[in-house]
Structure 1
């Protein structure tokens, strides 16, 4: 069933994030340039500059520095945890697989969770609901872990709509089995928001980041626009908005 909370979050994000974020000053500038030429030109220039900045790798790297707060871990670091929790990050239609498949972000998280599980022997909890309807992400994740990596999830949480829900519902499942110390797997930029949610549920959390924003090659390539950089800037700005939103809701 479609989540109203996710609907309003998506609507707010659409208004505050690219492409609307950088299109608004361009549209406003085009409307004002005949009557207020100077203001119109400034808005047009600002919109074009913002579009460029939000499409280059260097901006993604700058934005990532503020949210990628946790360093990589080693499988040996998991000796003190009871379980590995991997957060869902979306699903996609996978007709080539005969059903739904993990999105790119989810797949990166699953791969790392499987790597940690194989090297540590710790059980895995997959968490993700169906905020947009259809098959829950948790079920898609558990299937991918089993079929692609040979890892069977001990717990599957499939009722959550948000990261906050992930924490609440996963903590209840874990505590029922006496597990209170977890390694939390997600993109590095996502853990800045996710880790406190799980800690507030009374869990001891070892952040296990993956999918760091990194670029190789000559430095000048960081200033060339790319679709990948635009996608990363969008995700990073969304995280900043999410952090601000939950900071304004301290009881969440």
Structure 2
């Protein structure tokens, strides 16, 4: 079901994140430069510099250091948990498959959850609704786990619109079956926000991060702009905004 709240959050986020974030000073500088040349040039230079910084791998690495708080786990660490919970991270229309397919973030999470499930034998919970309409992520995730990885999700939560709701609704399902210790799978940068939500529902959480922000090759390449780095900077800045939002919001 379409969520108006999620839509407004995304609209507000778009104004606070690149590319609009770095376009605004460029536009303002272009408008001011005829009347106030010095101020206009400063704004233009600031916008260009910001565009460069938010398009290079090194900035993504710096930003990731503040939110990738949990180290990788070993499959053996799962002996103490009751379940593996996988958070949805988006979907995309996939006409080649005749329906929806996981976004790159969701696919990374599902692949890692399948890996952990195979090595531990622990049951899997998938969680994700449809905040912008269409098929719920939880249903799609369960289907992909079954068809592509041969693993059937024991629990499927498909009504949540946010990470906070992922935690609340998933906890109800897990506790009903006596599962209170979970390995929580998501990108490393996302778990900084997600883990406390699940803990506040009375669950013991083993963070199981995947999709770390990493780059190979010569160091100078980290200063060359790339589309991948732009995407990662956008995701990381969005996560910082999310952390700030929930820190200021009472009752979460």
Name the structure 1 match of 2:219: 219
- Note the C-alpha offset of 1:57: 0.3
State the alpha-carbon separation in 1 of the partners of residues 100 and 44 from structure 2. Answer: 42
- Mapping for residues 50-65 of structure 1, pairs under 5 Å: 50-65=50-65
State the alpha-carbon separation in 2 of the partners of residues 226 and 250 from structure 1. Answer: 38
State the alpha-carbon separation in 1 of the partners of residues 111 and 74 from structure 2. Answer: 14
Name the structure 1 match of 2:188: 188
Runs of at least 5 residues in structure 2 that lack an aligned partner in the other structure: none
- Note the C-alpha offset of 1:250: 3.5
- Note the C-alpha offset of 1:98: 1.2
Name the structure 1 match of 2:9: 9
- Mapping for residues 1-252 of structure 1, pairs under 5 Å: 1-252=1-252
Give deviations 1:60-111, integer Å, cap 9, x for gaps: 0000000000000011000000000000000011111111111100000000
State the alpha-carbon separation in 1 of the partners of residues 183 and 74 from structure 2. Answer: 11
- Note the C-alpha offset of 1:128: 0.4
Give deviations 1:191-248, integer Å, cap 9, x for gaps: 0000000000000000000000000001111000000000000000000000000000
State the alpha-carbon separation in 1 of the partners of residues 86 and 130 from structure 2. Answer: 16
- Note the C-alpha offset of 1:54: 0.2
SS state of the match for residue 205, structure 1? strand
Runs of at least 5 residues in structure 1 that lack an aligned partner in the other structure: none
State the alpha-carbon separation in 1 of the partners of residues 5 and 124 from structure 2. Answer: 27
- TM-score after normalising by structure 1: 0.99
Give deviations 1:18-43, integer Å, cap 9, x for gaps: 01100000000000011111000000
**Considering only aligned residues, what root-mean-square deviation do their CA atoms show, in Å?**
0.5
State the alpha-carbon separation in 2 of the partners of residues 146 and 101 from structure 1. Answer: 13
- TM-score after normalising by structure 2: 0.99
- Note the C-alpha offset of 1:6: 0.6
- Note the C-alpha offset of 1:8: 1.2
State the alpha-carbon separation in 1 of the partners of residues 21 and 34 from structure 2. Answer: 23
- Note the C-alpha offset of 1:249: 1.1
Give deviations 1:111-157, integer Å, cap 9, x for gaps: 00000000000000000000010000000000000000000000000
SS state of the match for residue 184, structure 1? strand
